[in-house]
Structure formats: C-alpha cells, structure tokens
Structure 1
Amino acid sequence: MAQKNGKDITPPVGNLYLTGFMCAGKTSAGRALAKALRRPFRDADSLFVKASGRSVAEFVRVEGLAAFRRAEAAIAKELAARAGLVVALGGGFYPSGTRAPLLKKSGTTVFLYCPWQELEDRLKAARRGRPLLAGSWEKAAPRAKKLYETRLPCYRRADLVVNVAGLNAEQAAAKIKRSLKL
C-alpha cells in the first residue's frame, strides 16, 4: 500500500490523475500507464477538443481563458463521476480553482515533476499550437518559466510527486506504478 504523509494513496478503483506543466509527459506516460494497468485512458485536452469542436488555442483566442477554465471545470466533474481511469490533465487544469479537491475525492493525483531546464528543451520543440509560447522564444521562455514557477506549489500538493526527468513514457509509467505499489 502506497502512503504519503501517513495517508493511504493506493487507488483501488479510483481514477489516477496525472498533472504537471506543459510537456512534462502527462499524455504519453498516461497512455503507457493505462496500458500497463489495463485501465481506460482519457486526455482532458482531447475531451475538451471533442466537446467544443475547436483546439484549445482557438477556443482561448475566441472565447477567452475564463470560458476555457469553465469548460475544463465541467470536464473535471464528468471525470470525477467515473472510476478506474488514467487521466492526463492539461497543464493548467489542476492548479485552477477548486478542481484539485474534486479530483482528490475521486482518485489519486500524481504530479509529474520535471525540472525547468529539461522542460525548456521540450517546450522549444513543441511550441506549435500553444498560445503561451507564441512569438519568439526569447519572449515566450520567460513567460513560460514564470508560469511554471507559479504553478509548482499547486502541483506539489498532489497526492504523489514523481520525478520524470530523463525518462521516456514507459519508464515514467513504470516509476508511477512502482511508486503507487500497483
């Protein structure tokens, strides 16, 4: 049984929610973890795109960030009503509003920690379609780093923190599985 601060965090049938900054590997590790655990996988951003018919970037550009966060809150409620899922959350999903307590009630939250130096390299390679990273890298990098540093304390409140630096998706999934003693 996995524990953190004396609390049992072993998810018998509850959901496993993977959180972390952009490019931390939530989706790829989530898919690998779901396969290893034989659980269904859901990606919150993909659910949003399917429901809205627009990319996150387009929706935010047209409707605004507040409308996007409201739509995410509805997705959080839908996910929390399910059981046995592995869910990759969007980078701002967990730190926004009252979602963290809702998610913790329906499962176990896992923060995929990746140090800024490694994230910066990943972000440079995956800038397309990410509004925060629009424009020159010299301007985007400080914005991204500031957001990363702002969100870090929220992410660290997850039930489990797993350092995924230098790991591929399968290695990250195996480390999460070991940490949860599944």
Structure 2
Amino acid sequence: MAGRLKKTVVLVGMMGAGKTAVGTALARRMGVPFVDSDEEIVKAANMSIAEIFERDGEPFFRQKESQVIRRLLAGSSCVLSAGGGAFMSPENRAAISQMGISVWLKADLDVLWQRVRHKDTRPLLRNPDPRGTLERLMAQRAPVYALADLTVESRPHYSVDDMASAVLAALAARPDVLQQENHQ
C-alpha cells in the first residue's frame, strides 16, 4: 500500500508508545524522512533533554519544542515523532492540525512501563516513584491525546511493523493526507 504523503504525519503519545520505532518503520515504508523533535532540540541546543530541563527548566524546553515543531511542519512532508508533552500545548495542536495530521499511538500503562522502566533518559521519571509518575502523566495526557486526528491502538503482541501497518491503514482512509499511487 504505497502513496504519496501530502502533509506531515505527527506521531503523538506517551513516552514508550513507540513513536520513534514506529515512526522510523513508517517513514521507511513511505519513502519519506523520519524526524524526531526531541533529537532536533538536542542538536540545536547541543545538550541532552535532561540537561536542558536541569539548566533551563521545562517551560524553556517547551518553548524550544514548539519552535522546532513549527519549523518541521513548514518543511517537506515527513513522519515526525513529537515528544510526549508536545501535544499538550494548544499552540502545537493548532499548528499540527493546520499543517499536518496527528496520530495518537495509544498504549496501556503496563506496556509503557515495560518499555521505559530501565531507561534513565526520561527527565520526568527521575523521581522516587517513576511508575506512579507515568500513571499520573498518562491520566493527564490521555484526554488531550484523544484529540488527535487518528488513534492507532497498540496491542501487546504487535511488532513495530504491525504498528506501522496499522498507522498506514489509518492514513489510507485520509485522501487529504495520503494520495494513492495508481499502478497500471
């Protein structure tokens, strides 16, 4: 199922939802670039996200994140992984809605916890109760993620390729996003 991407696909969801892995597989299958907004911020700042949070605080990070997302949306169509908190910003949601399409990679708490519990690269989980923090973040963010244009639910047995296929199938129903190629 191939098609030409007409606008940027922005993957949103919790840390551990698979935005980077699924986004990379999806971009490869669609023949478009994959871009991670967090990586772009790290490159621009020349420091890790944890260092930015520590030195400049979360509000500064969120401001830079919004600038990077707007810049990427204005560029060529791609698959964009937005940081877990990026979609919380009404300005980011409006920009994504105007220039791209949002896809919520929805995964349950147990799946997310299994994926993030051994990583120390998540500044929001650097506290005495990381699972409780993840659960609270999920409760706060899920109603906002539900505003995404499309929702693709992760299943425990899904591979990265299964999720990429599910996202592609959801996008195929949107002619404003994916122009089907006519093969004679």
TM over 0.5: yes
Q: Name the residue aligned to 2:175.
A: none
Report % sequence identity.
31
- Structure 1 alignment gaps of length 5 or more: 1-9
Cα distance in structure 1, aligned partners of 2:124 and 2:161: 28
Cα distance in structure 2, aligned partners of 1:27 and 1:51: 19
Aligned with 1:159 (options 149, 158, 161):
149
Question: Tell me, what secondary structure is at the counterpart of 1:54?
Answer: coil
Contact 1:11 1:108 (C-alpha < 8 Å) held by counterparts: no
| Structure 1 position 179 matched with structure 2 position 179 | no
Cα distance in structure 1, aligned partners of 2:162 and 2:88: 25
Matched AA of 2:169: R
Q: Name the residue aligned to 1:69.
A: 62
Runs of 4+ in 1 over 6 A off after TM superposition: none
Shift of 1:97: 3.6
Of 48-57 and 74-83, the range deviating more from structure 2? 74-83
Cα distance in structure 1, aligned partners of 2:5 and 2:84: 25
Matched AA of 1:25: G
Shift of 1:121: 1.5
Q: Name the residue aligned to 1:121.
A: 114
- Structure 2 alignment gaps of length 5 or more: 173-177, 179-184
Q: Name the residue aligned to 2:89.
A: 96
Shift of 1:11: 8.2
Contact 1:18 1:26 (C-alpha < 8 Å) held by counterparts: yes
Q: Name the residue aligned to 1:143.
A: 133
Cα distance in structure 2, aligned partners of 1:83 and 1:11: 12
Q: Name the residue aligned to 2:7.
A: 14
What TM-score comes out, normalization by structure 2 length?
0.87
Matched AA of 1:180: L
Q: Name the residue aligned to 1:46.
A: 39
| Structure 1 position 86 matched with structure 2 position 79 | yes
Contact 1:17 1:87 (C-alpha < 8 Å) held by counterparts: yes
CA RMSD of aligned residues (A): 1.6
The number of aligned residues is 170
Contact 2:4 2:30 (C-alpha < 8 Å) held by counterparts: no
Contact 1:11 1:107 (C-alpha < 8 Å) held by counterparts: no
Q: Tell me the alpha carbon deviations over residues 93-116 of structure 1, each in whole angstroms, 9 at most, x when there is no partner.
A: 111241001011111100000011
